[in-house]
Amino acid sequence: MFSANTLCPQCSNELPPGALECGICHYLAYTEAVEKIAARARAYESNGELPMAREEWLSALRLLPPESEHARWIIAHARELGASIDSAHGHASAGTWAKRLAPLGPLAVLLAKFKSFFFLLFKLKSLFSLLAFMGFYWSLYGWKFGVGFAALIFIHEMGHFVDIKRRGLPAEMPVFLPGLGAYVKWQAMGVSLETRAAISLAGPMAGLLAAAACMIWWRSTGSGVAMALGHASALLNVLNLIPVWVLDGSQAMLALSKPERFVLVLTGIALWYFSGDMIFLLVSAGCVYRLFTRDTPEQPSIAITGYFVMVMAGLAWILLVVPGKGLMGR
């Protein structure tokens, strides 16, 4: 818990005594402690010790704001664990109850169908938001660029989604906000800073590959739309690497030490010099700012530093090769 006259390590905002989170950036006071509790709880779950796991999860609630998303998730997960524990205890009498509840079988089938229906609606939410997102840019720039740009955003978000799922973590399909962008909702509780950083950079990496595909399309056909999409995709993904607010670069920065952040400052300046694109100076400026925030990890991560530099360099190459004029060309 924050004490008197304490500054938030994330945004340097002055925090009142007893605060569990920062009112500006919502940084949690006990982030590291909660992550350790979550790691122990997941270990108990892996070993089948569900009662111990449930108690461990619940012990984290005193360190979290009651209305926070993390607290709500823990409460819901604790209920699921409780149901699993009760189910295991009641396994011996399952046969008797099955006979008693047999007349309700048709109702159970009906409820299962409704569950499938609502699951389908949940998946359609992602599709409908993508269509609205596509329509927004279609109305601004024409259908070719609108559809292509929406597809590039989708590829970026699926980079996050696929990386999360391949690690065995829960995640929802991307949701698109016309004119604002998109996001993938997932639970980072108990996940290491290095893993979070890798997941954050997976989106720009997917965007880099998509931009490269557009570049090949443009070089092969001379298509103005392909040229515009390639440049726009690269530009958008560099923008996401600026380490501020909720951008991907900000999340990745949490795994980097101050010397590693300084490496990114120099990288941004070098890429600006060679590509001539001012946006890399914004990345460097953001990294300079993060040199003075108190959110550095206990251990540095050379792997994430290399990953970050590689993605930045690849995007700089795309911006250098693919002209930026005519972004609305058809």
Q: Tokens for 253?
A: 């920065």
Q: Residue 196: count other Cβ atoms within 10 Å of its Cβ.
A: 17
Whether residue 329 is contained in a domain is answered as: no
Q: HSE on the CB side for 225, CA within 13 Å?
A: 12
CA distance 164 to 171: 7
Residues 131 and 277 in one domain: yes
Whether residue 111 is contained in a domain is answered as: no
Residues 185 and 55 in one domain: no
Predicted structure pTM score = 0.66
Whole-number Cα distances in Å, 159 to 155, 204, 209? 6, 8, 10
Residues 124 and 83 in one domain: no
pLDDT number for residue 260: 98
171 φ, ψ (degrees, to nearest 5)? -155, 150
Whether residue 106 is contained in a domain is answered as: no
Range of the domain at 79: 6-93
Q: Residue 91: count other Cβ atoms within 10 Å of its Cβ.
A: 9
Residues 74 and 14 in one domain: yes
Residues 82 and 127 in one domain: no
With a CB cutoff of 8 Å and minimum separation 6, the contacts of 233 are: 152, 156, 207, 210, 211, 214, 318
Whether residue 85 is contained in a domain is answered as: yes
Residues 44 and 147 in one domain: no
Least confident among 28-37, 118-127, 273-282, 304-313: 118-127
With a CB cutoff of 8 Å and minimum separation 6, the contacts of 16 are: 2
Q: Which of 78, 93, 108 is the last residue of a domain?
A: 93
Residues 80 and 124 in one domain: no
The string of pLDDT tens digits covering residues 209-244 is 999 999 999 999 999 999 989 999 999 999 999 999
Residue type for position 269? I
CA distance 254 to 243: 9
The string of pLDDT tens digits covering residues 59-86 is 888 888 877 777 777 888 888 887 888 7
Query: Which whole number is the average pLDDT over 151-161?
Result: 93
Residues 140 and 223 in one domain: yes
With a CB cutoff of 8 Å and minimum separation 6, the contacts of 239 are: 247, 279, 282
Whether residue 231 is contained in a domain is answered as: yes
Average per-residue pLDDT for the chain: 81
Provide the domain count of the chain: 2
Whether residue 55 is contained in a domain is answered as: yes
Residues 70 and 197 in one domain: no
Whether residue 165 is contained in a domain is answered as: yes
Residues 179 and 281 in one domain: yes
Residues 207 and 285 in one domain: yes
Whether residue 312 is contained in a domain is answered as: yes
Residues 183 and 231 in one domain: yes
